[in-house]
Amino acid sequence: GFVNREVLQNIIPYVDKFLYDIKAIDPTVHKRCTGQGNELILKNLKFLSESECTIEIRYPLVKGYNDEECDRIGDFLSNLKGISKVKVLQYHHFAASRYEALGMTNTLPDTETTYEDIESAIKILKTYGLNAVNGMIES
């Protein structure tokens, strides 16, 4: 979602479903998690919704970083059209070995997201009328 609006306008006719990551609604939390603001990302998501696109949201849940954003995400998404699914994804350390192999400093959070964390987030998202699913189970 961090692209120029013109890019989205050009590809809409060729896309059946957009896979769209949402990490946080609060701009401070988003910047802490990604190093970037989220204003453009949220505006582009609204644009896709208003353009009657089908959108599958992917919410990578990082315990201790964006897990407190679940209600905000649910509230934001509940006001949009075209959201077919919200897939809550587990955070893991799989990329840690890549940092080591490349001789880079590992900047990934030292946390794990459990099955129970994901199920809790799904329960919250469903209270907003969203089709939330567990990304650990459904790929």
Distance in Å from the first CA to the final CA of the chain: 21
For residue 23, which of 101, 104, 109 has the smallest C-alpha distance?
Answer: 109
DSSP-assigned beta bridge partners for residue 133 = 87
Q: Which of 37-67 are b and which e, b meaning 16 or more Cβ less than 10 Å from the residue's Cβ? A: ebeebbebbeebbeeebebbbebbbbbebbb
DSSP letter for each residue of 60-122: EE-TTTTGGGHHHHHHHHHT-S-EEEEEEEE---TTHHHHHHTT----S-S----HHHHHHHH
For residue range 117-135, list pLDDT tens digits in order: 999 999 999 999 999 999 9
Q: Which residue has the higher pLDDT, 116 or 35?
A: 116
pLDDT at 139 over 60: no
pTM comes to 0.89
For residue range 30-79, list pLDDT tens digits in order: 998 888 999 999 999 999 999 999 999 999 999 989 999 999 999 999 99
For residue 48, which of 86, 70, 16, 26 has the smallest C-alpha distance?
Answer: 16
For residue range 74-115, list pLDDT tens digits in order: 999 999 999 999 999 998 767 677 777 888 777 767 788 899
pLDDT at 11 over 60: yes
What's the Rg (C-alpha) of the chain?
A: 16
Element (H, E) at 43: helix 39-50
